[in-house]
Amino acid sequence: MGTQVKQNSTADYLRMYRQMVRIRSFEDNANQLYLSAKMPGLTHMYSGEEAVAVGICEALTPQDKITSTHRGHGHCVAKGADFKQMFCELLGKEEGYCRGKGGSMHIADQSNGNLGANAIVGGSMGIATGSALSSKMRGSDEVTVCFFGDGATAQGLMYEVMNMAALWRLPVIYACENNGYSEYTPTDEIAAGSITARAEAFGIESFQVDGQDVLAVNDLAVRLVEKCRNGEGPFFVELMTYRYHGHHVGDINREYYRAKSEEEEWKSNKDPIIRFRSWLVDQGIATEEEIDQINYEVKQDAKAAVDYALSAPYPAAEEVDMHVFTDIKHAVA
Amino acid sequence: MPHEIIMPALGMSQDTGTLLAWHKANGDQVNAGDLLFEVETDKTTMEVEAPAAGYLVDVSALAGEEVPVGQVIAMINETNESASGDLSIHEKTDDASAEGELPLGHQVIMPTLGMSQDSGVLVNWCKNLGDFCEAEDVLFEVETDKSVVEVTANEAGYFSARLAHAGDDVPTGELIAVITKEPTNEHIDRAYVAQSKTISSTKSNPSPEPEVTKPPVQEADKSNPVVSQSKSGRILASPKLRRLAHQAGLSLEKLAAKGHPQPFHAADFEALQLANKQTSSGTNGGISSNHLVAEVRGDTLAEFLSWLNEKHAAISETAVLAALAGNALKVDAVVQVDSITGSSNFRASQQLSDVSLTECEADIFINDLRGSFIQAAQIEPLHRPVISITSRNEDLSLMLSYTTDQMTASEAFKLLNDFAGRIDDPIRHLF
Amino acid sequence: MREITLSKAVNEALAEEMRRDERVFIMGEDVAEAGTPFKILSGLVEEFGTERVIDTPISEPGFMGMGVGAAMTGMRPVVDLMFGDFIFLIMDQLCNQAAKTHYMSGGKLNVPLVLRTNLGATRRSAAQHSQSLHALVAHIPGLKVALPSSAYEAKGLLKTAIRDDNPVVIFEDKLMYQDSAEVPEEEYTIPFGVANVKREGTDITLIGTSSMVQVCEAAAELLAEQGYSAEVIDPRTIVPLDEETLIRSAQKTSRVIVVDEGHQSFGVTSEIASRINEKAFYYLDAPAMRIGAMDVPIPFTPALEDLTVPTPDLVVKQALKLLRGEMIDAA
């Protein structure tokens, strides 16, 4: 890669838009599957945070790595995952990315460099930093992005790995998706002081950016990824964003911790997809009709994928004790 | 009980300390907590207090001396006399035969060489036995994991006892030499001998339990036998013995009946075989089977049974037979009645309506052959006495078969006579 | 054959594997210049450099997690955990992440990682530096667990662990680092899941792990003096466990004692004894017994610490009870 920062083309912008719409559409469908009791377990909606995942992942190649969180569908789609296999995974079907054995909270897409969502808050920070260490040791220019929420800044592991990343100049970008809430508690009640200052204490250059502005996010991401490839990492980015749904799909009556008016404000005036759509039209990059067309296609795509997944088969019973070890086919005698 | 005052362990990296100054003199009375002496470490000066009250005696290190860590440099005794009579250097040196032989003097120990080593290989002695050494002379060399280290004598005097040879691997802290102030006539010279009975592991086994002594040699030595039958009537035996018994078709009850101590193990298999042989052959050990026959009218029983069938159909004929036989035997007897309709176990009762089916093992077997063509049945009473009932026209023939270890002759006469009497007049004996 | 210490054997295994495969590297506290406080890794940083022998800050969860991430992305880390007692600190990364990644990804992600740590008491290091916690990790599906009982096992098992594509936890007995054994100069590995019958016998089977193998051998000698023939078996790995060898031995001798330095309750001894009770039941002339470390936090004072670990005398005492057919806890 040269020293020039990548310039986005029309195709790039349209893809960015499409990716955000795909995420929104995926989440809407997943929510429906839950509400209509067709999806086992729980899941966590990313709706509202699309610009964060897309803005960053558009700056990465399939060889670059990401680690994700329990709110991981957005990262998964943004890193290049396919609807069918994602819906299959959420429904526990054999054709899912993890053969139905991981589910929403552990969805991983190894071929696209997604090392996996993690049900443990902050649980993937070590993995992301290790991935960066690995990249450096192998002499490759792969960058790793570690996604985590503001709630994860309460985990000790974050400080341990940031310390080591800084000591050894590892190519990792710590992306803190600050959506204002740590489960059911506002962030300012669980995180003392400044979030970026935490990283700065280790000498890690830190940035804060409007997470609802996909271009701002992408711009910053492209620059930081380039620097990482040149051995100037690690970096820390705090992205200010908002989740429209509750902490998980079952968290429906949430006015006790979050005002409806606040939710409305973010949805109406700060929605990343609407904002970007306006920008695209204003800049003459796309017409309203073209955008409508994209929306329509994505919607059809999603519906087809959901239908497919609903009728896809579950893994066979004999699979229950497979894949415990790489070299023992069935772990239970 | 005299207290040893030793040069204390000063830190991981030091194996000697310089005694800077004594604050008490030989013979002084001291109290617990009194400052005894000061030691120089590589960081600071350390003050050492008296651990107990008494008199400071047997002071063997002088101010200014460099003393190995762990070495005894004085004693606190109850009186101001020397405590050297029971001067034991290390608890571990319980090599009883040698204690009296070792000369008194400065003890040289295998020094602590580092966290990863708990012994050192003595490469080489640099002085000969009997030689005079200055304190700063190199006395021996030890191999560590990094290099070979020279160890000085630390005390001027005569090398009078050598307790390890070149090549010996000696645990740290162990006594390996003594340097005396005066030359001695006899020198002690031997290779290092390990003190405790340890095996290749370095774990110390103080073994607080007494040595295990050889038991008398025998197979089934039951030092705590259980009563021959546990409370529930079950027989206790190991799975192995049960399998062997089952495979050989042998009965555990026979062995239990003989009072053989439980639990049974594989070693009891021979006894089991013997027990089974005795009862089945009927000739060994004087256990033989006997037979008695009684004849009784059958019409009264028949009438009774048909009346019963009308009025109390729930009560079966077999139950009635069980009651009649059981009550003749003992209270609450369990009777197994085998007839053409099958086999049932009943617990007898004086009240016919209380006679109930049971899972318990029978005390006696009844073969109900009434109405069949069989005239007589002499059945081997393997486990329990057997009474077979056959019919001859209107009368019934009762044959009792029993072994002498199941009941005595007079018990048998009484049983059969009683049973016959009840059959003769069932109404009187029931309800 | 030459004899080398367990420490040297571990050192050789690591050096040979690092020469053989450039993806293998070591990380942990004080592993480079210091070679660990036990001095096992001396010389490795000189040969392989600080890029492959990495000193970390005192951040156990941090560097364990990084080991997992590195293993998932093409490297083969050997993570050094200074004392087995610290395993509590890394349980999430080891048991929630490393152990489950292959399964949760439907077989698509591998974690070829080795965690090297230790166990063993009687070093007067007190309760938080003396534990033998291998039962905790053996309980977690997805982790393999190796317990070398001598320098020979330590080298062979460690090489196999490094070449294994699954996460492996290998526990060395910290009291044994200076103990020597015959170790071939030629290349060799020891496969997982194959027990070693160290001594054949007919009257009773003694199954021991790690340094308890030596305890069992000593007990066997003492029993021989009394006319009893004991069989001594070293399972070498508890996951995978060579059940077949253990069951066959139980069937042969009909008496078994399992000796392990984990605590007596809810541990390795319970698991093995239980399997023997299940699968050799009809051959047993006595219940399969357990001897573990006493169920107390390990005390500091030598007067008490030595009472808490299994010794040859304890094993012999229990064995004689079984051999004589004494009822255990007669009602």
**CB-based contacts of B104: which residues, under 8 Å, 6+ apart?**
B84, B87, B178, B180
Contact A38, A15 (CB under 8 A): no
Whether residue B115 is predicted with pLDDT greater than 60 in this model: the reply is no
Under DSSP, is residue C222 helix (H, G, I), strand (E, B) or coil? helix
Higher pLDDT, B85 or C260: C260
Of the candidates B175, B179, B173, the residue with the CA atom closest to the CA atom of residue B103:
B179
Task: Compute CA distances C278 → B239, B395, C282, whole Å.
Answer: 12, 58, 9
Flag whether residue A65 sits within 8 Å of chain C, measured between CB atoms: yes
As a residue count, chain A comes to 333
Contact A140, C139 (CB under 8 A): no
Whether residue B95 is predicted with pLDDT greater than 50 in this model: the reply is no
Residue B92: band (very low, low, confident or very high) from pLDDT cuts 50, 70, 90 = very low
Q: Among partner residues A65, A132, A326, which is closest to C102 by beta-carbon distance?
A: A326
Can you tell me which residue has the tokens 């994602």?
A: A86
Determine the average pLDDT of the residues in C107-134.
Answer: 95
pLDDT at residue B14, rounded to an integer: 61
Flag whether residue A304 sits within 8 Å of chain C, measured between CB atoms: no
Task: Compute CA distances B423 → A66, B157, B314, B375, whole Å.
Answer: 95, 113, 20, 18
**CB-based contacts of B218: which residues, under 8 Å, 6+ apart?**
none
CA–CA gap between residue A325 and residue C64 (Å, rounded)? 20
The alpha carbons of chain A give a radius of gyration, in whole angstroms, of 20
Q: Among partner residues A110, A138, A324, which is closest to C103 by beta-carbon distance?
A: A324
What residues in B contact C176, CB-CB < 8 Å? Answer: 201-202
Contact C11, C44 (CB under 8 A): yes
Min Cα separation C256/chain A (Å): 23
> B158: how many CB neighbours lie within 10 A of its CB?
21
**Cβ within 8 Å, pair C106-A324:** no
Are B3-86 and B106-189 equal in CATH topology?
yes
Q: Which two tokens stand for residue A115?
A: 């090392």
Min Cα separation C286/chain A (Å): 26
Burial of C141 (0-12, 13-18, 19+ CB in 10 A): middle
CA–CA gap between residue A62 and residue A114 (Å, rounded)? 9
Q: Which two tokens stand for residue B175?
A: 């006594």
CA–CA gap between residue B385 and residue B409 (Å, rounded)? 12
CA–CA gap between residue A89 and residue A99 (Å, rounded)? 7
Q: How do the domains of chain B map onto residue ranges?
A: 3-86, 106-189, 239-286, 289-429
**What angle, rounded to 10 degrees, do the helices at A10-35 and A214-229 form?**
110
Residue B227: band (very low, low, confident or very high) from pLDDT cuts 50, 70, 90 = very low
A309-323, B359-373, C105-119: the lowest-pLDDT one: B359-373
H helices present in B286-383, as ranges: 299-311, 317-329
Q: Catalytic residue positions of C?
A: 60, 129
Residue A3: band (very low, low, confident or very high) from pLDDT cuts 50, 70, 90 = very low
Instruction: Kindly report the average pLDDT of chain A as a whole number.
Output: 94
Residue B43: band (very low, low, confident or very high) from pLDDT cuts 50, 70, 90 = low
Contact A56, A218 (CB under 8 A): yes
Whether residue B262 is predicted with pLDDT greater than 90 in this model: the reply is no
Q: Which two tokens stand for residue C161?
A: 């662990």
H helices present in chain A, as ranges: 10-35, 50-57, 73-78, 83-90, 125-137, 156-168, 195-200, 214-229, 260-269, 272-282, 288-311
Give tens-digit pLDDT for C59-68: 999 999 999 9
Determine the average pLDDT of the residues in A282-305.
Answer: 96
Can you tell me which residue has the tokens 């295990």?
A: B212
What residues in A contact C164, CB-CB < 8 Å? Answer: 327
CA–CA gap between residue C312 and residue C230 (Å, rounded)? 13
**Which residues of chain B have a Cβ shorter than 8 Å from any chain C Cβ?**
114-119, 145, 199-209, 212, 214-215, 217, 220-224, 226, 230, 236, 238-243, 263, 265-267
Amino acid at A155: Q
Determine the average pLDDT of the residues in A55-62.
Answer: 97
Contact C193, C241 (CB under 8 A): yes
**Which residues of chain C have a Cβ shorter than 8 Å from any chain B Cβ?**
7, 37-39, 42, 122, 175-179, 211, 214-215, 217-218, 221-222, 225-227, 254, 281-286, 302-303, 306-307, 309, 311-313, 316-317, 320, 324-327, 330-331
Mutate to test the interface with A, among C73, C79, C192 (most CBs of A within 10 A): C73
Residue C32: band (very low, low, confident or very high) from pLDDT cuts 50, 70, 90 = very high
> B218: how many CB neighbours lie within 10 A of its CB?
9
pLDDT at residue B16, rounded to an integer: 78
Residues of chain A with pLDDT > 70, as a percent, come to: 98
Touching subunits of B (3+ CB pairs, under 8 Å) are: C
CA–CA gap between residue A292 and residue C61 (Å, rounded)? 48
Of the candidates B147, B137, B77, B76, the residue with the CA atom closest to the CA atom of residue B106:
B137
Min Cα separation A248/chain C (Å): 21
pLDDT at residue C1, rounded to an integer: 93
Contact C203, C228 (CB under 8 A): yes
Amino acid at B61: A
pTM over 0.80: no
Of the candidates A121, A119, A206, the residue with the CA atom closest to the CA atom of residue A162:
A206
Closest residue, chain A, to C90 (C-alpha): A157
What residues in A contact C52, CB-CB < 8 Å? Answer: 137
Min Cα separation B127/chain C (Å): 29
CA–CA gap between residue C5 and residue C9 (Å, rounded)? 6
Contact B32, B52 (CB under 8 A): yes
CA–CA gap between residue A274 and residue A271 (Å, rounded)? 6
DSSP conformational letter for A114? B
pLDDT at residue C95, rounded to an integer: 97
Amino acid at C99: A
Min Cα separation C282/chain B (Å): 5
Distance between alpha carbon B216 and the CA centroid of its chain, in Å? 16
CA–CA gap between residue B179 and residue B162 (Å, rounded)? 9
DSSP conformational letter for C2? -
**Cβ within 8 Å, pair A126-C68:** yes
Q: Which CATH number does B289-429 carry?
A: 3.30.559.10
Residues of chain C with pLDDT > 70, as a percent, come to: 98
CATH classification of B106-189, choosing from 2.40.50.100, 3.40.1360.10, 3.60.150.10, 3.40.50.2300? 2.40.50.100
Domains of chain A: 10-312 (3.40.50.970)
B–C contact: 3+ Cβ pairs < 8 A? yes
**Cβ within 8 Å, pair B206-C306:** yes
CA–CA gap between residue C255 and residue A48 (Å, rounded)? 67
Can you tell me which residue has the tokens 């099958």?
A: B342
Min Cα separation A96/chain C (Å): 9
CA–CA gap between residue C13 and residue A107 (Å, rounded)? 37
**Cβ within 8 Å, pair C39-B223:** no
Return the CATH architecture of domain B3-86: Beta Barrel (2.40)
Q: Among partner residues C178, C306, C316, which is closest to B212 by beta-carbon distance?
A: C316
Flag whether residue A241 sits within 8 Å of chain C, measured between CB atoms: no
Flag whether residue A131 sits within 8 Å of chain C, measured between CB atoms: yes
| Sheet (strand B138-143) strand order | B148-152, B138-143, B119-125, B169-171
**Cβ within 8 Å, pair C102-A325:** yes
Domains of chain C: 3-182 (3.40.50.970), 196-323 (3.40.50.920)
CA–CA gap between residue B33 and residue B50 (Å, rounded)? 5
Contact C209, C238 (CB under 8 A): yes
**Cβ within 8 Å, pair A126-C69:** yes
Closest residue, chain B, to C180 (C-alpha): B200
Interface predicted TM-score (ipTM): 0.90
Q: Of chain A residues 105-124, which have a CB less than 8 A from chain C?
A: 106, 108, 110, 115-116, 118, 120, 123-124
C–A contact: 3+ Cβ pairs < 8 A? yes
**Interior angle at CA B41, CA B38 and CA B47, nearest 5:** 25
Determine the average pLDDT of the residues in B65-82.
Answer: 83
Strand-pairing partners, residue B122, are B142
> B302: how many CB neighbours lie within 10 A of its CB?
14
Contact B110, B169 (CB under 8 A): no
**Cβ within 8 Å, pair C307-B242:** no
Flag whether residue A164 sits within 8 Å of chain C, measured between CB atoms: yes
pLDDT at residue B93, rounded to an integer: 42
Of the candidates C217, C216, C164, the residue with the CA atom closest to the CA atom of residue C190:
C164
Could you check whether the bond before residue C240 is cis, i.e. omega within 30 degrees of 0? yes
pLDDT at residue C40, rounded to an integer: 93
Determine the average pLDDT of the residues in C94-103.
Answer: 97
Determine the average pLDDT of the residues in B257-283.
Answer: 83
Give tens-digit pLDDT for A80-129: 999 999 999 999 999 999 999 999 999 999 999 999 999 999 999 999 99
Flag whether residue A167 sits within 8 Å of chain C, measured between CB atoms: yes
pLDDT at residue A333, rounded to an integer: 67
CA–CA gap between residue A92 and residue C119 (Å, rounded)? 41
Under DSSP, is residue B13 helix (H, G, I), strand (E, B) or coil? coil
Residue B208: band (very low, low, confident or very high) from pLDDT cuts 50, 70, 90 = very low
Residue B280: band (very low, low, confident or very high) from pLDDT cuts 50, 70, 90 = low
> C50: how many CB neighbours lie within 10 A of its CB?
11
